Amino acid sequence: MKKITINEKLQAFTEHWSPKIVGALNGQHVKLAKFQGKFVWHKHEHEDELFYVIKGRFKMEFRNKTVELNAGEFIIVPKNVEHRPVAEEEVSVMLFEPATTINTGNSHNNKFTKEKQEWI
23 assigned to some structural domain: yes
12 assigned to some structural domain: yes
29 assigned to some structural domain: yes
pLDDT for 77 equals 97
63 assigned to some structural domain: yes
* Amino acid at site 44: H
pLDDT for 109 equals 66
Determine the structural domain holding residue 89 and report its residue range: 6-98
pLDDT for 36 equals 98
pLDDT for 1 equals 83
pTM: 0.91
70 assigned to some structural domain: yes
pLDDT in tens, 58-79: 999 999 999 999 999 999 999 9
pLDDT in tens, 10-42: 999 999 999 999 999 999 999 999 999 999 999
Q: For residue 81, which of 106, 58, 100 has the smallest C-alpha distance?
A: 106
105 assigned to some structural domain: no
Count of domains observed in the chain: 1
Strand partners, 36: none
Q: What does the alpha-carbon distance between residue 105 and residue 113 come to, in Å, rounded to a whole number?
A: 8
36 assigned to some structural domain: yes
110 assigned to some structural domain: no
The count of other CB atoms within 10 Å of the CB of residue 19 is: 21
pLDDT for 16 equals 96
Q: What does the alpha-carbon distance between residue 31 and residue 11 come to, in Å, rounded to a whole number?
A: 14
pLDDT for 90 equals 98
Domain of residue 37, CATH code? 2.60.120.10
